Amino acid sequence: MKTKFQGKEINIKRIGILTGGGDCAGHNAVIYGLLRRINAANQTLPKDEQMELIGLLEGWKALTRDPETEKDKIEVKLTTPDLKDSYKVAGTIIKSSRTNLFSKENLAKKAPEKAIENLKKLKIDCLVVLGGDDTLGAAGKLGKQFTFPMFGAPKTMDNDVYGTDKTYGFDSSVIESVHFIENIITTSKSHNRCFVVEVMGRHAGWVALYAGIAGGADVVLLPEEVVDMREVIKRVEKTMASQKYCVVVVSEGARLFDTRFPKEVNDSNKKLLDAVIADSKYALVKARHELPKKKDSFGNEQLGGIGEYIFSLLQEHTKGIQYRLQNCGHAIRGGIAHVSDRILGLRFGDAIFDFMKEGKFGVYPGLRGDDIVASDLLTVKGGKFVPDTHQLYKMRNAVDFY
């Protein structure tokens, strides 16, 4: 297909597509949405302008490999049979990885230069990158530095990418979390217990907020709030006294200590945690607390484990209540791609083809109201947090309304 790039006519025939970062529902729908448009256009295009969609395997990792010796590990031609049913499920049929081309180590290896060189060896005319702000940010840098035709699509179950009201992957993760919480509630009721349920979401609490409220949790703890364990304990005790069972949902990015917390809260939480760490039955909590924080290739702190802290603090500082800890973990990423993520993914893939046809490169589609709009890849960023002015923020703790 002939189009304009940087004021010059180009003929796009081989379109590369990759998925980076964590998997989620909607990846396959974006791929299929784009493939549908390619297939439709090919019906009327001259033979020398007809296109094919090439899946690049394992995200950016594909472009760090040698096309001459590892081509079977790098690319696969995508066809309708590959995607006609796959778009209904989560995950990504072209695999993913958390490879950062612009990490200090990869810059020393000239990974960005190698990636562009490999795209040319593979005869890729245009690259479509599906991922969160880290993956899309890398696409923006690569496209600008080497003047290469590039597109993106914003995914993440965390719903924390600017430029879109909603990322694909979010709704499905909320629905799966709600199922998890509802199942926990029946057991909680049956045994008069309090369950602490940890859900993913990094430093944005959208999944915990929506799933906690929709699933019927009594207490919801978010990364955006000041977590005062004295108040959490009061809420749990009130819930147990009122209904004999309780479910606390905590986002993995919630924390007990933060420079933005009042000193009194940090000091109080420390005192409560010190009592836990001093108790030999919480040896695993002590060991976790003393371990250095790990980071991924993009420099992001690897989260997870706050549920264990909340569980142990509640168990140590309340009496007569049985507690259990559950972690939704990666289960809420996978399984079914629910309807809204199928539709949003298909719309994003469809929109990318329109942008390509119009010669509007270096952008990613986003949802604004019910419209699809284009945002510049160079401006993409994460950190779309839950504001304390949000209606649901004020509704998050059901126990406050008992």
Catalytic machinery residues? 158
Query: What is the bridge-based pairing of β-strands 322-327 and 193-199?
Result: parallel
The answer to whether 116 and 128 have CB atoms below 8 angstroms apart is no
Quote the CA–CA distance of 40 and 42 in Å, as a whole number.
6
Asked whether the beta carbons of 364 and 374 are under 8 A apart, the reply is: yes
Contact 153, 30 (CB under 8 A): yes
Distance CA 158, CA 208 (A): 9
Question: Which parts of 43-132 fold into alpha helices (H)?
Answer: 80-83, 104-108, 111-121
What SS3 state is found at 302?
A: coil
220: which strand partners? 249
Q: Bridge-partner residues for 376, per DSSP?
A: 363
Which residue in the block uniquely carries the two structure tokens 């973990």?
329
Q: Exposed, middle or buried, 377 (CB in 10 Å: 0-12/13-18/19+)?
A: buried
CA atoms within 13 A on the CB side of 353: 23
